[in-house]
Amino acid sequence: MAGFIQKGAKNILQKNPNDVVFLSALRTPVTRAKKGGFKDAYDHELLAAVLKATLVKNPNLDPAAVQDVMIGTVLAELGGSKAGRMAQNHVGFPASTAFQTVNRACSSGLAAITGIAHSIAVGSIDVGIGGGMESMTRNYGSRAIPTVLWPELKDSPDKDARDCIMSMGLTAENVAERYGVNRADQDAFAAASHQKAAKAQKEGLFDAEIVPVTTRWHPNPEVPEQQEQITVSKDDGIRPTSTPESLAKMKPAFKPDGGSTAGNSSQVSDGAAAALMMRRSTANALGLSSSIIGKWAGTKVTGCKPDEMGIGPAIAIPKLLDYTGISVDEVGIWEINEAFASQAIYCIRKLGIDMEKVNPKGGAIALGHPLGATGGRQLATLLPEMERQGKELGVVSMCIGTGMGMASLIVRE
């Protein structure tokens, strides 16, 4: 694998037959859990929508050519494998197309995309789909904390073991306290996320990446037999009127004297995403070379202390840049997941990244964080923006619950 990865911008930007390329990267809207447009939808229903849209987007591709589908999901029943496989078959993929799910917490979608990339790179498959799905409305009852846990782990003498189930909000507070990120900066960052997202939505900048989804809607939970059909076409968590001043009025969510609030943390959300990937030589052989929109150029993942899991990108990104021979300044756009304002700010500062290059259409504070789908959502958001701005290199990165970070280098074509 190390021999497959190109190093240095000059080499990475060259087109080679063995490149792992993207032909499409699509997502559903991301909606507020329990309140938004997908509150009555199923995670695998959303997956079906993006998988079907992938076939529609690529009409000259025989569905039988897709050899494997890998989908990230964190909370789904039975790991999402059975319902996901059913959804895949339901929308037109043949039984010969394999299916699996993967769970690396908040990076599951990016882990799935990377898994497909690796399979293509080593010649295991030629064509695959990577993405993610999540319904936090339906599956977030335990707040992502295990309800059945070996008692010895709760009292483990190893602090890192115990801290794996620490509230994510408390880890955000630890980052703020340890690395000097104040409340005012967190609120300003969050307000900017909403304002960027609102501007992008108003200007139609999300339209190319979003697949409208028609689903059911129960307007009154107390009257379950009352049902309407709605089509969801826009992210519904964006608050255009958010300002640092309005966010400053919100109470701390995780500790009485803390800085993390519901307003400067990522939203609990529902959504799905999928990217069609293949080897460049395969795309050429299938007559699909004109459909190539980008390529995967490498991924790195690393661990960190669970009680400050939010610093993950600040560790993973340097490893990715070293792995690919790219400098911070050569990256045109950064999609860094905004799990919490405190950790996003710390990572950006630590890495010396120009804030203007980070999440130009807003991030998870405004758009939401449907855990397993986020990596796919970030990719779907990144590629059209790279085209719009004329940037050649982009990075997708996120922190990961239990203490990890992941980052991928993406090239626009």
Q: Which residues are catalytic?
A: 106, 369, 399
| Residues 9 and 393 sit within 8 Å (Cβ to Cβ) | yes
Q: Spell out the residues 6+ positions from residue 339 whose beta carbon is closer than 8 angstroms to its own.
A: 106, 168, 172, 265, 266, 310, 364, 369, 398, 399
| Residues 181 and 342 sit within 8 Å (Cβ to Cβ) | yes
What single string gives the DSSP state of each residue in 358-410? B-TT--HHHH---GGGHHHHHHHHHHHHHHHHT-SEEEEEEEETTTEEEEEEE
Contacts 24+ apart (CB under 8 A), 119-125: 119/68, 120/20, 120/277, 120/278, 120/279, 121/1, 121/4, 121/18, 121/20, 122/1, 122/4, 125/67, 125/68
Q: Spell out the residues 6+ positions from residue 317 whose beta carbon is closer than 8 angstroms to its own.
A: 347, 351, 395, 397, 405, 407
**Which of 56, 54, 74 has its CA nearest to residue 129?**
54
| Residues 99 and 85 sit within 8 Å (Cβ to Cβ) | yes
How close are the terminal C-alpha atoms of the chain, in Å? 23
